[in-house]
Amino acid sequence: MRYLILSDIHGNLPALQAVLHTAQPFDAIWCLGDLVGYGPNPNECIERLQDFEHVSIVGNHDWGVLGRADPFVFNGDARQALIWIQGELYPENREYLAALPTIKEVGDFVLVHGSLREHIWEYLLDGEYARKNFLFRDFKYALVGHTHIPVTFAWDGERDVARVVVPDGETPLQLGDHRLIINPGSVGQPRDGDPRAAFGILDTETMRFSFHRAAYAVEITQERMRARGLPQRLIDRLEVGR
């Protein structure tokens, strides 16, 4: 099976469409949370995902839109976008988000938005955070999102460290005996300096995971955000990928 691994779509439909096109062929999608937040097309992104066989979990912005988080844990721009989305979301799409689990296990893989310790909120920003999560519970491979930065953490039990492996172009990662935490990066709001939409492909026959990027018309997303009165800073950051 070829799985398309998506995270942090954030209501950016042009980015999602580019990824769905570039990633073909795939058998199913695993989505790691934050379907909404920041971007101009929350309903369309939730609906588009459902065109495919998929597994999905909930992220912190989805949580915020559902009113399950104090809005003041989000910064001003994110909060303004959340309030706008709350007013836009169709009831059936709200129900879809409300039914999502915070963690999902599929075979050897655990899917969470943030971390194993704190499914929704913790950012796995460096090797030390990753180390604590490798020690926290037993798992072989974890797929996470939330930081919007593609990265792999590889557990080295002998030295008691989690090594940080930055994706090398599109060279696939061979999954073997080593425990791994993999972040495919963000579809809708990349933060690693590359504005192209990020995604992963997991091939369970060859047991390879590859990191990919898809260029999309950033200006179309920006124009829609402007038309909806979303914050300028959120509009600007898309073209620099920060």
Question: Encoding tokens for residue 114?
Answer: 């943030």
Among 31, 34, 133, 212, the residue binding Zn ion under the rule CB under 5 A is 34
Instruction: Tell me which stretch binds Zn ion (CB under 5 A): 3-11, 103-111, 168-176, 214-222.
Output: 3-11
Nearer to Zn ion, 8 or 192 (CB): 8
Instruction: Tell me which stretch binds Zn ion (CB under 5 A): 4-12, 39-47, 85-93, 128-136.
Output: 4-12
Using alpha carbons, select from 163, 144, 147 the residue that is nearest to residue 155. 163
Q: What share of the chain is helix, strand, coil (3-state, %, to 5)?
A: 30, 20, 45
Cα dihedral sign for 195, 58, 11, 75?
A: negative
Nearer to Zn ion, 34 or 122 (CB): 34
At 198, give phi and psi (nearest 5°).
-105, 145
Nearer to Zn ion, 93 or 175 (CB): 93
Shortest Å, Cβ 121 to Zn ion: 11
Phi-psi label, residue 42: left if phi above 0, alpha if psi -120 to 50, beta otherwise:
alpha
Nearer to Zn ion, 113 or 155 (CB): 113
Instruction: Tell me which stretch binds Zn ion (CB under 5 A): 5-13, 44-52, 98-106, 150-158.
Output: 5-13
Shortest Å, Cβ 182 to Zn ion: 16
At 85, give phi and psi (nearest 5°).
-65, -40
Instruction: Tell me which stretch binds Zn ion (CB under 5 A): 29-37, 151-159, 161-169, 173-181.
Output: 29-37
Using alpha carbons, select from 19, 16, 20 the residue that is nearest to residue 35. 16
Shortest Å, Cβ 218 to Zn ion: 17
Strands (E), the chain: 2-6, 28-31, 54-56, 103-106, 109-112, 141-143, 151-156, 161-165, 173-174, 180-183, 197-203, 208-214
Phi-psi label, residue 185: left if phi above 0, alpha if psi -120 to 50, beta otherwise:
left
Shortest Å, Cβ 126 to Zn ion: 18
Strand 2-6, strand 28-31: pairing: parallel
Shortest Å, Cβ 39 to Zn ion: 10
Shortest Å, Cβ 137 to Zn ion: 23
Rg (CA), the chain: 17
Instruction: Tell me which stretch binds Zn ion (CB under 5 A): 7-15, 126-134, 173-181, 199-207.
Output: 7-15
Task: Note whether 8 binds Zn ion by CB under 5 A.
Answer: yes
Shortest Å, Cβ 8 to Zn ion: 4
Total of chain residues touching Zn ion, rule CB under 5 A: 2
- Site residues (vs Zn ion, CB under 5 A): 8, 34
